Amino acid sequence: MAMIKLENVNKYFGDLHVLKNVNLEVKEGEKLVIIGPSGSGKSTTVRCMNYLETPSSGHVYINGHLLTAANKTRVIRENASMVFQQFNLYPHMTVLKNLTLAPTKLHHKSKKEAEELAYHYLEVVGLKDKAHVYPSTLSGGQQQRIAIARALCCESRIILFDEPTSALDPETIQEVLDVMIKLAKENITMVVVTHEMGFARQVADRIVFMADGEIIEEGTPDHFFNNPESDRVRQFLGKIIR
């Protein structure tokens, strides 16, 4: 069974047709990378997966559940977390408090359980020594690693990444990618929107290329980088890979 399934998903913003009959399945444990030019619908596709954007038509299934207005909060809370372009950490809370908030308030874990989870995942992202500082004292790369740890603390089976390195300085991008490469070895279903082609080549089980709100081509990294079928894909790769 697919962990994520999009079925004939369309999305309009006013008269702008952003997603056009998108059909996509992501298997349990699969690492799917979505690439394409700016404005192609990549981020909107990922945001429809957890109903941060409600499709104008079509259906979204998460772990076999059809998402509806009535059940979306429960189903997403039980199955998926998201890492955004901006870190969205609470500035008035310490790192530890940021990480324990959802496990205690939404998943009803005890303070002790939540803190044990937080320290474990802070160690995973290499920032255990930052538990008691405030986000403003951290670099962008460190804040994004904290945001990844926060997603992991929810123990979700799915983590969605919406261009997680796009807001970072070039020297801090690799530290975030290194954490994501480590996560890719776990049995977590990952969907990653990114412009980092080296990451896509190294981590993806499958790459989806989008343009003008449609999926133009999909395949393994080997197929995609070495033998793409679409002229549009070849044109895109020619501009970003030197």
Structural domain boundaries enclosing 217: 2-88+158-240
Q: Is residue 94 part of a domain?
A: no
Query: In this structure, is residue 70 part of a structural domain?
Result: yes
Domain contains 10: yes
pLDDT at position 53, please?
A: 96
Residue pair 236/37 in contact by the 8 Å Cβ criterion: yes
For residue 107, give every residue at least 6 positions away whose Cβ sits within 8 Å of its Cβ, in sequence order, or none.
Answer: 77, 154, 155
Pairing type for strands 158-162 and 80-83 reads: parallel
* Beta pairing partners, 159: 81, 190
Q: CB burial class (10 A; 0-12, 13-18, 19+) of residue 157? A: middle
Let me know if residue 119 belongs to a domain. Answer: no
The answer to whether 64 and 209 are in contact (CB under 8 A) is no
Residues 6+ apart with CB under 8 A from 72: 50, 51
Task: Establish if 144 belongs to a structural domain.
Answer: no
Return the pLDDT at 242: 59
Q: How far apart are CA 27 and CA 73, in angstroms?
A: 22
Q: What is the CATH number of the domain that holds 31?
A: 3.40.50.300
Is 27 within the bounds of a domain? yes
Q: Does 148 fall in a domain?
A: no
The Cα-based distances of 111 to 94, 100, 115, 149 in angstroms read 15, 7, 6, 17
- pLDDT tens track, the chain, 242 positions: 799 999 999 999 999 999 999 999 999 999 999 999 999 999 999 999 999 999 999 999 999 999 999 999 999 999 999 999 988 899 999 999 999 999 999 889 999 999 999 999 999 999 999 999 999 999 999 999 999 999 999 999 999 999 999 989 988 999 999 999 999 999 999 999 999 999 999 999 999 999 999 999 999 999 999 999 999 999 999 888 75
The pLDDT value given to residue 150: 96
Give the residue carrying structure tokens 């690693």. Answer: 145
The pair of structure tokens assigned to 151 is 């997603």
Q: Which helix (H) or strand (E) holds 140?
A: helix 140-153
Count of CB atoms situated within 10 Å of the CB of 34: 27
Domain-located, residue 50: yes
What's the number of domains the chain is made of? Answer: 1
pTM: 0.94
